[in-house]
Amino acid sequence: MTEETTAPTAAAVPTAVRGKPAPRDAEDRVTIRMPAEGAYLSVLRTATAGLAARLDFTLDEIEDLRIAVDEACGLLLSQAAPGASLDCDFTLGEDSVTITVSVLTQRAQLPARDTFAWTVLAALAGSVDAWAGPGGKLTVMLRKTRELSRSG
């Protein structure tokens, strides 16, 4: 006696074509919340690399994003209120990732945009913004688009 099982057909399961990621219909979102302490930044660097790799970013683009996330978090951690959490939202588009990192502060002070550090952050991420929200919440947003000029 044999037992029949039903498995999804190949057409029903998105697959990669020639090493390229399967097209996605909607944006995916990943959220990480952790203590606002430098010891945990390796978690965000690793998550950043994994998610960027999922979007088929180059190794250089992935490393740029890892450094940018680390720098953005450094700007925030210096102002974090005691016991605060660092919240990081990754929004994955078809060929871009938007990373929003925020922390609760006692008195949010926006990072200066005319500094060398901000210029480097913008060069690494592609697009950077920062704002202070209600209740002393300070946010930095990075947006990186994958290079489309690569042949494949």
Q: What is the largest CA-CA distance in the chain?
A: 75
Tell me which fold the domain 27-145 belongs to: Heat Shock Protein 90 (3.30.565)
DSSP strand E in 2-151: where? 28-35, 85-92, 96-104, 127-132, 137-145
Tokens of 86: 């660092």
Edge-to-edge strands, sheet with 96-104: 28-35, 85-92, 96-104, 137-145, 127-132
How far is Cα 31 from Cα 34, in angstroms, rounded to an integer?
Answer: 10
Q: With bands split at pLDDT 50, 70 and 90, how would you rate the model's confidence at 115?
A: confident
In total, the chain counts a number of residues equal to 152
Q: Do residues 101 and 86 lie in contact, with contact meaning Cβ atoms separated by under 8 Å?
A: yes
pLDDT at 9: 37
Decide which of 133 and 117 is more confident: 133
Please check the confidence at residue 97 and state whether its pLDDT lies above 80: yes
The pLDDT tens digits for 135-145 are 999 999 999 99
CA dihedral (60, 65, 67, 70) in degrees, to 10, reads -160
Instruction: Please give the average per-residue pLDDT across 37-47, as a whole number.
Output: 95
**Coil, helix or strand for 100?**
strand
Q: Do residues 12 and 64 lie in contact, with contact meaning Cβ atoms separated by under 8 Å?
A: no
How far is Cα 4 from Cα 110, in angstroms, rounded to an integer?
Answer: 62
Q: Nearest Cα to 27, choosing from 120, 92, 102, 121?
A: 92
Please check the confidence at residue 7 and state whether its pLDDT lies above 60: no
Hey, where are the domains in the chain? 27-145
Averaged pLDDT of the chain: 84
Which pTM was predicted? 0.79
